[in-house]
Structure 1
Amino acid sequence: MEREAVFLVKCEENVYKLCQEVINKHSGELQKCFVVFISNPSRTIPLWRQRAGRDEDRLVIWDYHVIFLYHPEPEKCLVYDLDSELPFPTYVHKYVTETFRTDHILKPDYFRYFRVISAAEFLKDFASDRRHMKRPDGTWIKPPPNYPAISTPSNSHNLEEFIQMDTAKGPGQVYNLIQFVQKFYKPAT
Structure 2
Amino acid sequence: MASVSHPSKIQRQDTGVVTNTTKKPILNLFSQRSDCKYTPAYCEENVWKLCQDISTRHPLELQHCYVVFVSNDSRTVPLWRQKAGKEEEKLVIWDYHVLFLYTPDDRCLVYDLDSELPYPTYFHKYVTETFRTDHILKPEYFRYFRVIPASLFLQHFASDRRHMKRSDGSWIKPPPDYPPITSAANPHNLDDFINMDPTKGLGEVMNLTQLVRKFYQHP
TM bracket, shorter-chain basis: over 0.9
Partner of 1:57: 89
The aligned counterpart of 1:135 is: 166
Secondary structure in structure 2 of the residue aligned to 1:73: coil
Equivalent position SS for 1:114:
strand
For 1:27-176, what aligned pairs fall within 5 Å after superposition? 27-74=59-106, 76-176=107-207
Question: Of 181, 184, 189, which aligns to 2:212?
Answer: 181
Seq. identity, %: 66
Q: Deviations over 1:93-114 (max 9, x none)?
A: 0000000000000000000000
Aligned residue pair count: 187
Cα RMSD, aligned residues only = 0.9
Runs of 5+ consecutive residues of structure 1 not aligned to the other structure: none
Q: Is the 8 A contact 1:124 1:152 kept in 2?
A: no
Aligned position for 1:24? 56
Aligned partner of 1:3 in structure 2 is 33
1:3 CA drift (Å)? 1.9
Instruction: Report Cα offsets for 1:10-63 as digits up to 9, x if no partner.
Output: 100000010011011100000000000000000000000000000010000000
Amino acid in the other structure paired with 2:47? V
When the two structures are superposed, what TM-score results if normalisation uses the length of structure 1?
A: 0.97
**Cα distance in 2, alignment partners of residues 23 and 148 from structure 1:** 19
Could you say which structure has the higher strand fraction?
Answer: 1
Separation in structure 2 between the aligned mates of residue 136 and residue 153 of structure 1, nearest angstrom: 24
CA displacement, residues 61-114 of structure 1 (integer Å, 9 cap, x when unaligned):
00000000001112x000000000000000000000000000000000000000
Query: Which sections of structure 2, spanning at least 5 residues, go unmatched?
Result: 1-29
Q: Offset of 1:7 from its aligned partner?
A: 2.4
Deviations 1:107-148, CA, capped at 9 Å, x for gaps: 000000000000000011000000111112111122211111
Answer whether contact 1:114 1:174 (CA < 8 A) is retained: yes
